[in-house]
Amino acid sequence: MQYRMEHDSMGEVKVPASALWGAQTQRSCNNFKIGSERMPAEIIQAFAFLKKAAAITNCELGRLDEQRARLIGGVCDEILEGSLGNAFPLVVWQTGSGTQSNMNVNEVIANRANQLRASDVEALHPNDTVNMSQSSNDTFPTALHIASVLALTERLLPSLQTLIKTLQRLEQENKDVIKCGRTHLQDAVPITFGQEISGWRSMLEASQDQITSTLPHLSRLALGGTAVGTGLNAPAGFDKLVARHVSELCGHDFETDPNKFHALTSKDAVSFAHGALKTLAANLMKIANDVRWLASGPRNGLGEITIPENEPGSSIMPGKVNPTQCEAVTMVAVQVMGNDATIGFAASQGNFELNVFMPVIAYDFLQSANLLADVMRSFEQNCVAGIHANLAKMQHNLNDSLMLVTCLNPHIGYERAAQVAHKAYAEGTSLRDACVSLGLLSAAEFDAVFKPEDMV
């Protein structure tokens, strides 16, 4: 491999000749050979948005000439288009402030811009030009918030809305289908299948509202706080103006955090938002488990619904088909719950003026958002959209349920109704036969009050 020599404040470093990065990125590559988890592409893209916004702002405030501001913006556009993806090799397990990833972006932008600049344009420097009016300590939390907002609004919430709409359709289609309700995994009084689905739908709508409520907190940016929150070396008005330009570039409303000391040291907005993702994961776990319970069988389980048969389920049992989409949902759910524990603990480690657990917070938050977005889309397309009620099995289970006896409470009382249920279960007879044989109601009286359709 061919190398070139790059230098930073600590001296010279050998860098692959074709690499766009510089000395500080290479030092990180050399010193942090830990794991295979790379800094998420969403964070790099967020950096591109904020670096372009910072260049525009510095130009408007008279700190940066227009030619170099345009060069920075042009390279940022290349990053956003994905054409420089190989220029960002750093792992998550690096400095907890994300300084090395900030410098990775600075070096790539500076080197690429210097390749493109005209001979009469002053050379760009990673720190002095691209990082002007900034610090890693305010850019990384800003990139984290930008990436989080984009992941939620452009990926997760649309997937969630699609799943909700499919459940709304199923709810309407099954509004008159009466089935046995269940509590404690035991038979309970009747319910319509539409009502059961409405519970699933409402859970997801609640999660939708909760996630949306976190966006104003995530939309507050640390940019302008520089090293410790004081805004040292940033011009007056930089923070508000750069937030406006980030908003214009991203197509989402961002604002400067009114307290930069809070913005640098606290990760409460991300922890709060991920808590809403954990709640969504818990709701999806419940729905997926309900679906696979109701579809269990096909002959020796509940079998009250059918779900699409997507692939063979066993390498040894011919004809076996498993609820694989439900299993994918539940695996994602437990991963998100684990990520929430990591993020919560990492967010508690904001010592003095800076939190130094930001790369792992970013990695886990974006993994959760992306996994949930993907699994909801897959679950909706490959399972939920194809759910059908097994009307015959629902009717059989309903008629066989002893808890229909609850409708007799107003007529014979709780204790006598319990006596009817116990007798029917012990003797394997119907509730009607047990009630009549106990002399509690005549057959005609029983038929007049025993109406499962009125119990929903």
- β-pairing, 220-221 vs 255-256, is parallel
Active-site residue (options: 314, 388, 422, 437)? 314
Active-site residue (options: 36, 119, 184, 315)? 184
Contact 94, 282 (CB under 8 A): no
Phi, psi for 16 (deg, rounded to 5): -50, 135
Query: Taking the C-alpha atoms of 357, 359, 363 and 368 in order, what is their torsion angle to the nearest 10 degrees?
Result: 40
- The residues, any chain, with a CB within 8 Å of residue 409's CB and separated by 6 or more, are 417
The DSSP result for 343-385, as a single string, is HHHHHT-EETTEES-HHHHHHHHHHHHHHHHHHHHHHHHHTGG
Helices (H), ranges, 82-192: 99-116, 136-151, 157-173
CA distances from 336 to 68, 151, 214, 268, 444 (A): 42, 15, 17, 17, 56
262 vs 367: CA distance, rounded Å: 25
13 vs 8: CA distance, rounded Å: 8
Active site residue 378: no
171 vs 410: CA distance, rounded Å: 31
N-terminal to C-terminal alpha carbon distance within the chain: 74
DSSP letter at 170 equals: H
Contact 424, 408 (CB under 8 A): no
**Angle at Cα 251 formed by Cα 143 and Cα 344, nearest 5°?**
35
223: nearest Cα among 248, 257, 250? 257
Active site residue 314: yes
Contact 394, 178 (CB under 8 A): yes
**What would the two tokens of residue 272 be?**
């709060």
Query: Which residues are tagged catalytic?
Result: 184, 314
